[in-house]
Copies of this chain bind each other. A is one copy, B any other.
């Protein structure tokens, strides 16, 4: 266990994931309250909202107001998501937002076509334009995501060797653009990873690119989420996306299950703390936020620790 990191960094994605995933539109003051509670827990980065089509995603139509109503807490980065130039322009005009230069690549060509209307190669070329655009805007590129790094329901399993090659293509594309990629996220977008595949891909990447910081964006679609985290922790991975209360997924029937269920922030924090790994997060405060999230959403969410309670030692 010698490679277990002493500290991990967790990026909270629950608000954006959760309120976008649910069909209803929740009152702005409830969404604001949840983000304000999260900002008090010690989490240093919280994805608040996405800047996407207001007609296609009405849940996110008031993203600007959401940011405007937050009680900004110093040391916390409030981030947003955009996929188009129009969305980026809206984000740039939003006070209080931390604009992060993030690149998106797809291991699955079929999944990219379904989600973006273009294949993985064309999507990769578009990222060059995003690099240029972020530079023009004075933003540093913080990270790239390799989406569907382990597989997807359209194209099936992505073998580690293929994902590794694609990760190296990303590194090379960045190099060509004069950029040393600070972090690469392996995203298990629709829940195909198991510990063995995490270990294979992270291990190979770590061996060939020891300086590259690796992050994991994991979904707990089939229950292996924290097992996958443990496989990554053992290899020293110290950067994780997660959603408070498991927001953004519904483990039960009736939702589009294939894409459901980010790993749960407080379950991750609990496991890390119990293993002596620091997160900087106040777990009881986070549990309060998780319970508030469940009250707001109005149906049971997937988080475990919020329902079971903390250990009494």
Contact = CB atoms under 8 A, between A and B. Distances in A.
A197 B274 CA distance: 9
A104 interface: no
A195 interface: yes
Nearest to A4: B196
A271 B194 contact: yes
B223 A303 contact: yes
Contacts of A257: 307-309
A206 interface: no
A236 B233 CA distance: 19
Interface stretch (A77-85, A112-120, A150-158): A150-158
A275 B222 contact: no
A199 B1 contact: yes
User: How many monomers of this protein are in the complex?
Assistant: 2
A229 interface: yes
A63 interface: no
Contacts of A311: 151, 153, 156-157, 192
A267 interface: yes
A192 B220 CA distance: 20
Contacts of A313: 151, 156-157
Contacts of A220: 304
Nearest to A267: B223
B222 A305 contact: yes
Nearest to A229: B227
A66 interface: no
A193 to B, nearest CB: 9
A222 B267 contact: yes
Contacts of A192: 311
A196 B1 contact: yes
B194 A224 contact: no
Contacts of A303: 223
A226 B229 contact: no
Nearest to A193: B274
A216 interface: no
A164 to B, nearest CB: 17
Interface of A: 1, 4, 151, 153, 156-157, 191-192, 194-197, 199, 220-224, 226-227, 229-231, 251-253, 257-258, 260-261, 264, 267, 270-271, 274-276, 300, 302-305, 307-309, 311-313
Given A156-B313, A222-B304, A257-B309, 9 more contacts: A194-B274, A195-B271, A196-B276, A221-B304, A223-B264, A223-B270, A223-B271, A251-B307, A258-B308
